[in-house]
Amino acid sequence: MGILRNFVLLVCLSVACLFFLIMYSKPLAGLAVQTYRNDEHSSNDQVTVPFTTTPSAQLFLPLVAGPLPARMLIAAAHIDSVISGEGDEAILLWNIGDGAQALAGWQLATANRQTTFPLTATITLAPGERIWCVADALIFQHTFGELPACAWASDGDQTVLTLESKLPLTNGGGHLSLRNAAGEVVDTLIYGDSAQPAAGWVGLAAQLYTRGDVASGGQVWQRKRDPVTGWPIDTNRAADWAGDLADLRWGRQVRMPGWSGWTTTDLGRPQSGSATATVTVAVGPEGLYQPLSTLLANATTSLDLSLYTVEHRELAQIIADAARRGVRVRLLLEGSPPGGIDDLQKWCVKTIVDAGGDVRYLAAVEGAPTGYRPRYRFLHAKYGVVDGQRIFSGTENFTYDAMPIDTSVPVGGRRGFYLITDAAPVLQALQRLFAIDWAPDRFLDLHPFDLNHARYGGPPADFVFPTLPIYPVTESPFRDPVTIQATAQFTVVSAPENSLRPDAGIHALLAQAGDGDEILMTQLYEHKNWGESVSNPIADPNPRLHAMLEAARRGAHVRLLLDGFFDDAEALRSNRATVDYIRAVAAAEGLDIEARTGNPTLGGIHAKVVLVRLGDRHWSAIGSLNGGEVSHKLNREVMVMMDIVEVYTRLATVFAWDWERVLL
């Protein structure tokens, strides 16, 4: 009888437990099985993010009182620094759990060295919080632009916790581990040429992306991040890390010190918002000077300008006049443009500085540590914020080729575009971007004008203004700007932080285009493949070109207009090669996609414009982003997007005019 009674009791308890699980459990999305997707060639995968939670994949766990534990990761590491002495070596720790974590007694370790958080340490990471632990706090501040929380070499800064011993990191390969106060391995990174297994890691070592013009030196190892939360992902494999070659959507990424974009709110996603706004579309070469010069001349309080080059006497004088009447002028310029800084720009900059403007070149300042690099390969953006109320953003440099003054007769030059708007989302995004880049108090890569400096100084004493270029065209019909007031969605895409996201910005639009939709693109260049120039579109696809082909496969009408003036047709990745590739694929598959090169305004196509019509929505994107890998992964670039039909119509009209006048 006792045995039977015990058996009945056990059954009752089991049923009660089952009833409790059914009635009082909840699906925990954070603990759902995350299914990684690498179906780059899937046609029904238009805007899918890489981690999805489906009903069949959910785990149902009993309701637990209180927060779940902390979960600590090595989220990033700066291992192969280019700074002499490698003082900015660093490890980023990130708590992606639901509970706080005190770090007293925790350890960071390599294969044969370790450093420990003192038992007296008071550092505690709240859920979602991250901190840097570094070799030298001062040098790290100069390269990353922020104060670390801890260092394994004391520099006397009392605000930075000193760990108990040094931790030199091995450049070529090795492993890093994070251990808790009990000495247990919490997280591991095996990287580079290391083949030594370690606890907390499965499979081959993680790798950096180093193809084409991207070198390993100076890169920051970083995890891929969840596209919704922005937090790092972790499956203890090389595929978690952003250099992953096998992942054509979320891998093959690059990060350098000083960049933003760690989370979705930190430029990790393009900045978007809706607003009622006025938008002016100006078309070059014939229609840029008048609206831009008027906008600059009417500035009353501030001009914040981020421009690649300034080689335009009249525009420089207008900016200088603004400075003389008390307008605060801050101008960012590229410090090493191909071909160097010419004497006309030196005259322009001197004129602005003499009037009271502050001009900085993206270049290491004197006294910077040996090997110090600017944050971006090129400062290639072309935008300005006027009085904190309006912005201009476009495709052209301030040159006479792009902005001739006398437009009373037909004028040729560079085909390009500018947008002028008071749209609040764009204004806020570009103000934020300028504040990030204009930071001479945080970085050592903003070289001020110095009159006697050979590169960043004034013009020679015998400087003479050059002869203005002439491009003899017979018609230039787009002289007058078009102004529209509308309520619209606006998005600002910035490179290198978010220009390659497959689920946002331009790439998301291209991924949605299908039967009955339209894509029109005008570009200075669009490489048929990235990576090494001798590679191909299969091994190293250009994601944007690939997305256009995929849209054509879904039935979209696609046209690509590329420059024929600057193009070297014999180069492996010339525009001519891209046109030939597109035509071959279109012929083989019967696609409605066509590409041409040409020079309709005689000075070259310098524009970077993407138009996407999705049903009755008309999206336009204008900015500085070219179709190469460096532009997307290493440069500072800006694209402004909006869904205003009148803007689309104006740009499509120019596209049609150019399309009919180009080489086949």
Domain membership flag for residue 439: yes
User: H-helix or E-strand containing 162?
Assistant: strand 161-162
Q: Name which of 323, 379, 388 is nearest 350 in CA terms.
A: 323
* pLDDT of 9 strictly over 50: no
**Which is higher by pLDDT, 98 or 52?**
98
Domain membership flag for residue 466: no
190 in the same domain as 73: yes
Domain membership flag for residue 600: yes
The distance from CA 660 to its chain's CA centroid, rounded to whole angstroms, is 34
* pLDDT of 274 strictly over 80: yes
596 in the same domain as 534: yes
Binning pLDDT at 50, 70 and 90, where does residue 158 land?
Answer: confident
627, two tokens: 């179709």
Domain membership flag for residue 487: no
Return the C-alpha torsion angle 542, 522, 560, 614, nearest 10. 90
* pLDDT of 505 strictly over 90: yes
Domain residue limits at 610:
492-659
CATH number of the domain encompassing residue 191: 2.60.40.1260
φ, ψ for residue 154, nearest 5 deg: -70, 135
Position of tokens 């019509």? 613
Domain membership flag for residue 266: no
pLDDT of amino acid 664: 61
pLDDT of amino acid 663: 67
Binning pLDDT at 50, 70 and 90, where does residue 36 land?
Answer: very low
Q: Name which of 626, 479, 614 is nearest 556 in CA terms.
A: 614
Domain membership flag for residue 19: no
141 in the same domain as 73: yes
Domain membership flag for residue 642: yes
User: H-helix or E-strand containing 75?
Assistant: strand 72-78
pLDDT tens digit string along 398-454? 999 999 999 999 999 999 999 999 999 999 999 999 999 999 999 999 999 999 999
646 in the same domain as 523: yes
pLDDT of amino acid 43: 32
Of the residues 15, 37, 66, which one is the last residue of a structural domain?
66
**Which is higher by pLDDT, 125 or 7?**
125
92 in the same domain as 110: yes
CATH number of the domain encompassing residue 439: 3.30.870.10
278 in the same domain as 181: no
Instruction: Tell me what the pLDDT averaged over the chain comes to.
Output: 90
Beta strands at 358-362 and 413-421: parallel, antiparallel or unpaired: unpaired
pLDDT tens digit string along 175-231? 999 999 999 999 999 999 999 999 999 999 999 999 999 999 999 999 999 999 899
Q: Name which of 245, 313, 263 is nearest 75 in CA terms.
A: 263
% of the chain exceeding 90 in pLDDT: 88
Of the residues 396, 426, 448, which one is the last residue of a structural domain?
448
φ, ψ for residue 590, nearest 5 deg: 65, 45
The CA distances from residue 75 to 3, 95, 185, 222, 439, in Å, are 55, 9, 15, 6, 25
76 in the same domain as 43: no
Q: Name which of 631, 606, 652, 627 is nearest 545 in CA terms.
A: 627
Quick check: bond before 285 cis, omega within 30? yes
- Cβ contacts of 348 within 8 Å, gap of 6 or more: 310, 311, 312, 313, 315, 316
pLDDT tens digit string along 37-60? 232 233 333 333 333 333 233 333
Domain membership flag for residue 302: yes
**Which is higher by pLDDT, 46 or 118?**
118
Of the residues 448, 481, 516, which one is the last residue of a structural domain?
448
325 in the same domain as 223: no
| Vertex 475 angle, CA 469 and 476, to 5° | 70
Beta strands at 413-421 and 271-284: parallel, antiparallel or unpaired: antiparallel
Q: Name which of 592, 503, 598 is nearest 548 in CA terms.
A: 592
150 in the same domain as 99: yes
* pLDDT of 235 strictly over 80: yes
Q: What is the pTM of this model?
A: 0.89
pLDDT of amino acid 662: 82
Q: How many domains does the chain have?
A: 4
Average pLDDT over residues 624-630: 98
- Contact of 396 with 418, CB cutoff 8 Å: yes
Position of tokens 């090169």? 597
107 in the same domain as 61: no
CA distance linking residue 180 with residue 116, whole number of Å = 10
133 in the same domain as 111: yes
586 in the same domain as 548: yes
